[in-house]
């Protein structure tokens, strides 16, 4: 369990103090993959660095596995950090060391014997799929393989928590998917708690159990990933989700819909389904029950954590009372319905 309590972080700037984080509170259960997302400058990298106190917060506390790290002295903090592994965007490998040597480095610094090092490193290289590359140098392997080395190195001290700071940002989409699959495998097989920092909602969608959205150093939304996708409450969240599932209508269609809405004709609805609701003929049943016309403007079906997810924008025509009854019926069937009075 990771608990971040009333955490704030201020830095001195040329024009005075800059507040990078403001009163952040998060609880991350053990064994979860927790995503922290935000645009550039939102404070997410500052936040992840407070979890292992690479950056000491101005206010608040960070509790990991029952220990408040902000109260520890240097020696105790150093020991506590061994339970918190970290992987980085730019790998941070030593070019003069082999793959094996890079993974072995934290064990050497901890005074482990050669036999102990081999006993730990070789299974880790097998776990991340690099056994056959153990004698190569960083210049001889790909970016995805370098990140696998970074992951294995972070696991060498057998941590209970793994922090990932934009670890896939420098990778192509295919390699990103492979690295995220590896992180999910590590989470399941080793039971690690993973805190994943990213600016890409696609990354959150693929691997995270829950997500917190940061904006200007504040948590503006938090919840299960599928719930946040179905019903985003903050404009920043909507924009980030829009990078994955488009909410915007094409410009020409948007103009026509706006003109129709301005005459009071029709109701623009945004519908979100999940699970078995994606497979059910709910719309056709609604049309029959309430004698409505549904014009589907935009739609997409996707998958979040193995669960089907659908999103539709529809223009509903019919008597207002019937539209209201239809919306109530859809909601009773587990559909998230948002009635829009304007075209976004």
Helices 114-127 and 99-109 cross at an angle (nearest 10°) of: 130
Q: Say what the pLDDT of residue 7 is.
A: 95
Query: Does residue 307 register a pLDDT over 80?
Result: no
Is the pLDDT confidence value at 231 over 60? yes
Average pLDDT over residues 279-285: 78
pLDDT (0 to 100) of residue 279: 61
Which residues have C-beta within 8 Å of that of residue 177, sequence separation ≥ 6?
A: 206
| Length of the chain counted residue by residue | 344
- Count CB neighbours of 153 within 10 A: 27
Categorize the per-residue pLDDT at 35 as very low, low, confident or very high, splitting at 50, 70 and 90. Answer: very high
Query: Which residues lie closer than 8 Å to 13 by C-beta, 6 or more apart?
Result: none
Alpha helix ranges (H) inside the chain: 44-51, 74-81, 99-109, 114-127, 143-155, 173-190, 201-207, 225-230, 235-242, 251-262, 282-290, 320-332
Residue 315 is predicted with a pLDDT of: 86
- The greatest distance separating any two alpha carbons of the chain, rounded to the nearest whole angstrom, comes to 79
Q: What is the mean pLDDT of residues 68-72?
A: 93
DSSP 241-255: HHTTS--PPPHHHHH
Looking at residues 214-228, what average pLDDT do you find? Answer: 93
How many alpha carbons lie under 13 Å from residue 150 in its C-beta half-sphere? 26
pLDDT in tens, 97-129: 999 999 999 999 989 999 999 999 999 999 999
Q: Give the mean model confidence (pLDDT) for residues 28-36.
A: 95
Q: What is the pTM (predicted TM-score) of this model?
A: 0.85
3-state SS, 311-324, equals EEEEEEECCHHHHH
**Cβ(158)–Cβ(106) below 8 Å:** no
72's tokens: 């520890």
pLDDT for 277 equals 56
Domains along the chain? 2-242 (3.40.50.300), 251-340 (3.30.70.260)
Q: Is residue 272 scored above 60 in pLDDT? A: yes
Nearest to 145 by CA among 158, 132, 157: 132
**Among candidates 126, 164, 151, which has minimal Cα distance to 37?**
164
Least confident of 121-130, 139-148, 216-225, 232-241: 232-241
309 backbone dihedrals φ, ψ, rounded to 5°: -140, 130
CB atoms closer than 10 angstroms to residue 126: 13
Asked if the model's pLDDT at residue 245 lies above 90, the reply is: no
Rounded distance between C-alpha atoms, residue 57 and residue 10, angstroms: 8
More confident residue, 278 or 23: 23
* Percentage of residues of the chain with pLDDT beyond 90: 51
Model pLDDT, residue 251: 66
77: nearest Cα among 56, 100, 60:
56
**Confidence (pLDDT) at 130:** 95
Contact 175, 143 (CB under 8 A): yes
Q: Tell me phi and psi for residue 80, to 5 degrees.
A: -65, -35
């Amino acid at each position: 369990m990771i608990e971040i309590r009333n955490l704030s972080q201020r830095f001195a700037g040329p024009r005075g103090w800059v507040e990078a984080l403001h009163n952040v509170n998060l609880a991350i259960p053990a064994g979860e993959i927790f995503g922290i997302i935000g645009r550039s400058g939102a404070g997410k990298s500052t936040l992840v660095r407070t979890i292992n106190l690479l950056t000491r917060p101005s206010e608040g506390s960070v509790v990991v596995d029952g220990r408040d790290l902000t109260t520890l002295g240097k020696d105790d903090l150093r020991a506590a950090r061994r339970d918190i592994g970290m992987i980085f965007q730019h790998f941070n490998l030593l070019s003069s060391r082999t793959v094996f040597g890079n993974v072995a480095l934290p064990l050497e610094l901890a005074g482990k014997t050669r036999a102990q090092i081999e006993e730990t490193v070789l299974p880790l290289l097998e776990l991340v799929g690099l056994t056959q590359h153990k004698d190569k140098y960083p210049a001889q392997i790909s970016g995805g393989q370098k990140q696998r080395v970074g992951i294995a190195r972070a696991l060498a001290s057998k941590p209970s928590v793994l922090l990932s700071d934009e670890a896939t940002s420098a990778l192509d989409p295919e390699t990103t998917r492979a690295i995220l699959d590896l992180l999910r495998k590590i989470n399941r097989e080793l039971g690690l708690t993973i805190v994943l920092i990213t600016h890409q909602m696609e990354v959150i969608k693929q691997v995270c159990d829950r997500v917190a959205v940061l904006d200007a150093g504040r948590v503006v939304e938090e919840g299960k990933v599928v719930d946040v996708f179905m019903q985003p409450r903050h404009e920043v969240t909507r924009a980030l989700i829009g990078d994955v599932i488009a909410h915007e209508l094409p410009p020409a269609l948007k103009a026509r819909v706006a003109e129709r809405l301005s005459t009071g004709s029709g109701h623009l609805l945004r519908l979100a389904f999940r699970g078995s609701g994606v497979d059910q003929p709910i719309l056709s049943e609604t049309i029959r029950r309430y004698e409505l016309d549904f014009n589907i403007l935009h739609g997409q079906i996707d998958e979040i954590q193995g669960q089907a997810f659908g999103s539709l924008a529809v223009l509903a025509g019919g008597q207002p009372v019937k539209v209201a009854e239809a919306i109530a019926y859809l909601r009773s069937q587990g559909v998230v319905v948002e009635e829009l009075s304007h075209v976004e």
